[in-house]
Amino acid sequence: MNEIEVKARVTNPGLLFARLGSLGIKLSEPTYQHDLIFSPKDLEEITIFKPDTNFLRIRKENNQAVLALKRSGVNELAVQTEETAVVDPDALTRILEALEYKLSVEVKKQRQKADYHGIEICVDEVEDLGTFIELEELSVTDNNPEETQNKLFKFLQRLGVTEADRVTQGYDTLVALKFGVRR
C-alpha cells in the first residue's frame, strides 16, 4: 500500500477548526498515540532522508499496538507501508533489537481524525513540537506521489495553510532534529 501525505504546522487552531467545520468536516474525539520508531542499525542519522530505507514503527493506541513497515519512496512523506496488529509490543521490541533495528525516536501525540472524500484528515498535537494538520491518501498504485501531494496541499491551502507552514518531514525526523537524536 502506498501512503502519500502532506502536513503543515497549524499557527491558528481556532481558524483551522472553523474552516474544517464550514466544509462539514467533523473531527473525532482525540486519541493518544505513542510511536516507537526503529531504524536499521547501519543508518547513521534518522534525520537524513534515504530512499528505499525500511523503518519499523510500533504504535500504541487505546490499549492496542500495531507494527508498521514503512519503506521510503520519492520523499519522506510518500512511503510504502504494511501494518499488522501486535499482541505483545515489549516482546516485539526485543525481537526488532535482536534483528539489529535500533529504537531511534519516540513520538507522542493526541490525534483527531476525519475522512473527507477519501482523504484522511488528522489534526495532531505533537508533544514538544506543537499542532499540525496532515492529509493522507492511500493507494495501491501511485506512479506520481508528488502530484498527489500537490493536490492534497491545494486542499490545505483552502483551509488557510500557506507554503511557509508546509512541513516535508515526518514527526520522527522533526523530533530527532529538535532534540539532536542520533543513533
Give the C-alpha separation, 162 to 22, whole Å: 19
pTM to 2 decimals?
0.91
The torsion region of residue 79 among left (phi > 0), alpha (psi -120 to 50) and beta comes to: beta
CATH code of the domain in which 63 resides: 2.40.320.10
C-alpha cell at 62: 487505546
Question: From residue 71, how far is each of 56, 127, 163 by CA, in Å?
Answer: 9, 25, 26
Give the C-alpha separation, 70 to 79, whole Å: 6
Give the torsion sign (CA, 39, 114, 140, 50): negative
Question: Residue 46: which domain range?
Answer: 2-179
Q: What is the pLDDT along the chain (183 residues), one digit of tens a residue?
A: 888 999 999 999 999 999 999 999 999 999 999 999 999 888 776 666 677 888 999 999 999 999 999 998 888 888 889 999 999 999 999 999 999 999 999 999 999 999 999 999 999 999 999 999 999 998 757 678 889 999 999 999 999 999 999 999 999 999 988 987 654
Question: From residue 72, how far is each of 77, 92, 159 by CA, in Å?
Answer: 8, 22, 28
Are 182 and 45 within 8 A, CB to CB?
yes
Look at residues 67, 60, 61 and name the one whose alpha carbon lies nearest to residue 31: 61
Number of domains composing the chain: 1
